[in-house]
Structure 1
Amino acid sequence: METKAIVKKVEELVEPIVRTLGLELVEVQFRRERPGWVLRLLIDKEGGVNLEDCVQVSEVVGDILDAEDPIPHAYNLEVSSPGLERPLVKEKDYQRFAGRKARITTRQPLAGRRNFTGIILGIEDGLISLRLSEGQQVEIPFSLVEKAHLKFDFK
């Protein structure tokens, strides 16, 4: 089974469970790393997650994954917070984090560039509005986003 299909299946299985625990499933990652395959679940909630949240999700989700067995080989399950530079994965993330600084990389160039850093103004009709550091405003189609995350200002 292809990794994208595994991620999709795991999201379908896990998202309702995580939601019933009062948490948000931010992202599911499945990739080969040094020790082997890793299934990483990034979870969040208003005010941030703590160790108990991660342990609870790991235990409940681990049991479900053992029962459903959507991954045909060995892997390690990791559950963690998305961190200060949280990935922006869903369209609703751009509404929730309006007013915050973000970095967005597109699949193909827009106006001659693929990397944009600025303040999120919101999203409407699939277009992300971003006020760039240079002052101009751009609209980036959500469908062209390859990768995006919040930028924490360490100043």
Structure 2
Amino acid sequence: MALQDIVEQTVTGLGYDLVEIERSAGGLLRVTIDLPWDPQAAEQFVNVEDCEKVTRQLQFALEVDGIEYKRLEVSSPGIDRPLRHEKDFERFAGQVIDITLKAPMGAAAAGQVSANRKKFRGTLERAEGGQGWQIVWSDEPPVKPGQKVSKKRPPAPVQALGFTLDELREARLAPIVSFKGRGAAEG
């Protein structure tokens, strides 16, 4: 069996989702796992015991099938989790993400955005009409604590970019860290 099949079968058999497999120079095999998403349940996170359980099972499965590796690393997706499948986009709708397009915008942005731009950060939303996705952002800089903002200055316009998963080179959750604690309101 191929490496992808062995790892996927082992990970899903233990009740986890396989996020990605990466082989690096020097024989490192990196496997990223996540807990299956349940929209009704509270958000849960992969912990050390989950990674340890998958590591033990993968070591056994890879040895049985004779897959060569020097070091195995099993981890959670982290705060900059890659988004690859439709269910990932559904799960993280409303979150701030970073996307990189395969091709630059070109003339499609009607002068609103640089024609060579491929990278965007904004809030992920379902596109109008329910077909595809869009990212919404404003190029206005964030207000720093204690900074006075003129009420006369017009706000920067909100922009939206519609895209399909086929147009993406990469999509990830934006690694935004708040030291105010989990669930703290932005601002």
Q: What TM-score results when the alignment is normalised by the length of structure 2?
A: 0.68
Question: Could you say if the C-alpha distance between residues 148 and 59 of structure 1 is closer, same or farther in structure 2, counting changes exceeding 3 Å?
Answer: same
Once residues 92 and 133 of structure 1 are traced to their aligned partners in structure 2, the CA distance between those partners, rounded to angstroms, is 26
Matched, 1:21 2:32: no
CA-atom RMSD in angstroms:
2.1
Which position in structure 2 is the counterpart of 1:92? 87
Give yes or no for contact 1:10–1:28 (8 Å, CA) kept in 2.
no
Which position in structure 2 is the counterpart of 1:38? 28
Question: Could you say if the C-alpha distance between residues 63 and 120 of structure 1 is closer, same or farther in structure 2, counting changes exceeding 3 Å?
Answer: same
Once residues 91 and 161 of structure 2 are traced to their aligned partners in structure 1, the CA distance between those partners, rounded to angstroms, is 19
How many residue pairs end up in the alignment?
A: 142
Which position in structure 2 is the counterpart of 1:3? none
* Correspondence for 1:12 among 2, 5, 15: 5
Which position in structure 1 is the counterpart of 2:53? 56
Which position in structure 2 is the counterpart of 1:101? 96
Question: Could you say if the C-alpha distance between residues 19 and 122 of structure 1 is closer, same or farther in structure 2, counting changes exceeding 3 Å?
Answer: farther
**Counterparts in 2 of 1:55-134, with a 5 A limit?**
55-71=52-68, 74-111=69-106, 112=115, 113-122=117-126, 127-134=132-139
Once residues 115 and 20 of structure 1 are traced to their aligned partners in structure 2, the CA distance between those partners, rounded to angstroms, is 36
Q: Could you report, residue by residue, the CA deviation over 1:74-102 in whole angstroms, capped at 9, with x for unpaired residues? A: 43110011111111122221111001010
Give yes or no for contact 2:82–2:173 (8 Å, CA) kept in 1.
yes
Secondary structure of the 1:109 match is: coil
* Correspondence for 2:170 among 126, 144, 147: 147
Q: What TM-score results when the alignment is normalised by the length of structure 1?
A: 0.80
Please say which of residues 115-124 and 82-91 is displaced more in the overlay: 115-124
Aligned-pair identity (%): 34
Once residues 56 and 96 of structure 1 are traced to their aligned partners in structure 2, the CA distance between those partners, rounded to angstroms, is 25
Once residues 142 and 63 of structure 1 are traced to their aligned partners in structure 2, the CA distance between those partners, rounded to angstroms, is 35
Give unpaired runs (5+ residues) of structure 2.
Answer: 36-42, 107-114, 140-157, 179-187
Counterpart residue identity of residue 38, structure 1: L
Is the radius of gyration larger for structure 1 or structure 2? 2
Once residues 21 and 49 of structure 1 are traced to their aligned partners in structure 2, the CA distance between those partners, rounded to angstroms, is 13
Which position in structure 2 is the counterpart of 1:136? 159
Once residues 99 and 11 of structure 1 are traced to their aligned partners in structure 2, the CA distance between those partners, rounded to angstroms, is 31
Q: C-alpha displacement at 1:37, in angstroms?
A: 2.3
Give yes or no for contact 2:10–2:61 (8 Å, CA) kept in 1.
no
Give unpaired runs (5+ residues) of structure 1.
Answer: 1-5
Which position in structure 1 is the counterpart of 2:152? none
Bigger helix fraction: 1
